[in-house]
Structure 1
């Protein structure tokens, strides 16, 4: 969810929406604390882990069903936080414009779908499995860019990384199913829970891919920066989420008590606020990381960051620690590194490569879609 609202959406935006020039090297000048590359990298990783853990804490009870309300709280907290930072001169973003809001609104709807499906998937799946399956979104986005935007062809090394991503997801799912089957109690219930999680995860990967692809086109047209995107996404989502939580979700006293037990009500409220603030932290620390490091380092950090996020599920929650789950995490970690290396090599060479869909004649409808997206 929030891994997705803020975790999947801000990580993608940070790498392309911020246009922060890299500082020129200075000789014989001591490196200040703000320009030390270790600090922003740790802050970036920490904010990602904080968001995922807080979201999982809120959603860890399978009786929790006020997902739209959770998203609403996070959006309101995010708007308050970035408006406060703007008033204090810490950040800047463009003021609200009705015409821009109308054009951006479809992206906001896709974002809500992405976050909602992500929250449902995180509700039923463990953090390691959720994190591993998110890698599959990279495959959808890569081929979507080639088909719809004429992006770079996918090289053999990139295809190999995709194979590792698929393998890690299969192993993770197999390990979860095996653990559920060997459980002494409620094996059928656990299998049903996992199946629901995989369905929501599939929907989340599709929503995330469409969101990223469509947002890429719109950002080029509007020249939005990262905080512009965050401002419009969260502001426009608030009225939609208010209607969704009031009309769709159950606000009876019994259901509220089930979602917010008295013994943990304050902790859940704090976790909601922290997950909203984490989105701001992720955007800021990603820009900070890009400013004091190279783009290569930033991309590698994004790949390596999946390992501590997955491990956080083993540490803070009761995710099963088995040979299969550990192997899936390791393979997923390696796939991220291989993918980063492949992208570095691809960017350093002319845009040539191997793609199963390259040079295949497009149908009239596919060609029309590509032309319309380019226009």
Structure 2
């Protein structure tokens, strides 16, 4: 590499003829109107890509697990993880992913408990999505934010502002309305099954959703605690998460799920078999798409914009359930979706204000702050 300072010196050291004209500018290379560079730095496209990836992931999961006789959730999640790992390794081989560290046994042992928590999170999420509609699942998923927030208060010294508490109130209120609307729809016969079966299905869904909330919070809080010690980057986290869950998921599938030919035929009916397989493969790819689009959105916009997009994205995900899966459209369900949407916006705004307040406090003061006598004594003791 040449030294920039020495280059500048040689250009002005008097050896060049001062009467020589400036060299003609190099010809401009013709570039296509929409180059890859423009796409890669487009805020609008990154936001659309992130929204489409998350919506398609939820819809695909719901499609795969919503079969009448579906009972192979561990197998489905294992396929997701395998597809994800194969895709990551292929991207590393062709140079798309360059910052993935080699596999380390010691790191794998330390990360394995986090992967077990991940299995609990994705399994309970799949079971909840199997019994609940997409709008209700999306609304109840907001409750995870509350558990994580108070977990951070207890374990990491976080804080909850009044505006954040307001958003939590909206989240709880929207969940209550969603549950009430679902129960009313079941009692009114809007579901295909009879009333008692529909109520039993909803109760199972709420039970799995409750377990998913706590499993998700445990996974997120545990990962936050361990990830700082491991010094993992995004691709490292995804690689270890998926790789270490594969043996757990396969063992759980072999031990707890029915692998008889009759059960396989019920889970994969001939008329929808190919579509289910395509959905299972796509769900593994979608996990990578979401991770990439999240990083892309943050890079070309800001973390603030990303937070707001995540809040606004709740609405199209919930609406997609109404469109693709014929979920009951009632005043209660629409109200729950809207209130949950407002709760997400209020929460995102609360986090933005909290981050701005923290940044303002971290700025160096321009005046010497007033110090109490005890603090002054402690300072003098340290100096001495």
> Are 1:295 and 2:303 an aligned pair?
yes
> Are 1:149 and 2:156 an aligned pair?
yes
Alpha-carbon distance, 1:86 to partner:
1.1
Deviations 1:160-195 (A, max 9, x none): 000000000000000000000010760110000000
User: Contact (CA 8 Å) 1:114, 1:211: kept in 2 or not?
Assistant: yes
User: Contact (CA 8 Å) 1:62, 1:124: kept in 2 or not?
Assistant: no
> Are 1:63 and 2:80 an aligned pair?
no
SS at structure 1 position matched to 2:48? helix
C-alpha distance in structure 2 between counterparts of 1:263 and 1:84, whole Å: 32
In the alignment, which residue of structure 2 is the partner of 1:7? none
In the alignment, which residue of structure 2 is the partner of 1:361? none
Alpha-carbon distance, 1:33 to partner:
2.1
In the alignment, which residue of structure 1 is the partner of 2:134? 127
SS at structure 1 position matched to 2:200? helix
SS at structure 2 position matched to 1:141? helix
C-alpha distance in structure 1 between counterparts of 2:270 and 2:89, whole Å: 32
1:175 to 171, 181, 184: 181
SS at structure 2 position matched to 1:32? helix
User: Contact (CA 8 Å) 1:303, 1:340: kept in 2 or not?
Assistant: yes
SS at structure 1 position matched to 2:95? coil
> Are 1:320 and 2:328 an aligned pair?
yes
In the alignment, which residue of structure 2 is the partner of 1:347? 355
Alpha-carbon distance, 1:63 to partner:
1.5
Bigger-Rg structure (1/2): 2
C-alpha distance in structure 1 between counterparts of 2:231 and 2:298, whole Å: 19
User: Contact (CA 8 Å) 1:62, 1:123: kept in 2 or not?
Assistant: no
In the alignment, which residue of structure 2 is the partner of 1:202? 210
> Are 1:311 and 2:319 an aligned pair?
yes
1:95 to 90, 102, 123: 102
SS at structure 2 position matched to 1:262? coil
With a CA cutoff of 8 Å and minimum separation of 6, indicate the structure with the bigger relative contact order: 1
C-alpha distance in structure 1 between counterparts of 2:333 and 2:67, whole Å: 22
SS at structure 2 position matched to 1:318? coil
In the alignment, which residue of structure 2 is the partner of 1:161? 167
SS at structure 1 position matched to 2:323? helix
In the alignment, which residue of structure 2 is the partner of 1:263? 271
C-alpha distance in structure 2 between counterparts of 1:344 and 1:263, whole Å: 49
Alpha-carbon distance, 1:351 to partner:
9.3
> Are 1:48 and 2:57 an aligned pair?
no
Alpha-carbon distance, 1:346 to partner:
1.0
Following superposition, which runs of at least 4 residues in structure 1 exceed 6 angstroms of deviation? none
Alpha-carbon distance, 1:265 to partner:
0.5
C-alpha distance in structure 2 between counterparts of 1:63 and 1:111, whole Å: 25
Deviations 1:132-158 (A, max 9, x none): 00000000000000101111x111110
SS at structure 2 position matched to 1:183? coil
Distance 1:38 1:351, change over 3 A: closer
Alpha-carbon distance, 1:295 to partner:
1.1
C-alpha distance in structure 2 between counterparts of 1:287 and 1:125, whole Å: 30
> Are 1:73 and 2:90 an aligned pair?
no
Alpha-carbon distance, 1:345 to partner:
0.9
Deviations 1:313-369 (A, max 9, x none): 0110021111100100000000000001111111111499xxxxxxxxxxxxxxxxx
Alpha-carbon distance, 1:62 to partner:
3.6
C-alpha distance in structure 1 between counterparts of 2:160 and 2:300, whole Å: 29
User: Contact (CA 8 Å) 1:127, 1:313: kept in 2 or not?
Assistant: yes
Give the gaps of 5 or more residues in structure 1.
Answer: 1-29, 353-375
C-alpha distance in structure 2 between counterparts of 1:350 and 1:234, whole Å: 34
> Are 1:188 and 2:196 an aligned pair?
yes
Q: Structure 1-normalised TM-score?
A: 0.84
User: Contact (CA 8 Å) 1:124, 1:194: kept in 2 or not?
Assistant: yes
> Are 1:243 and 2:251 an aligned pair?
yes
> Are 1:105 and 2:112 an aligned pair?
yes
Deviations 1:264-313 (A, max 9, x none): 10100000001110000001111111110011101111111111111110
2:124 to 117, 126, 139: 117
Give the gaps of 5 or more residues in structure 2.
Answer: 1-34, 361-384
C-alpha distance in structure 2 between counterparts of 1:126 and 1:195, whole Å: 13
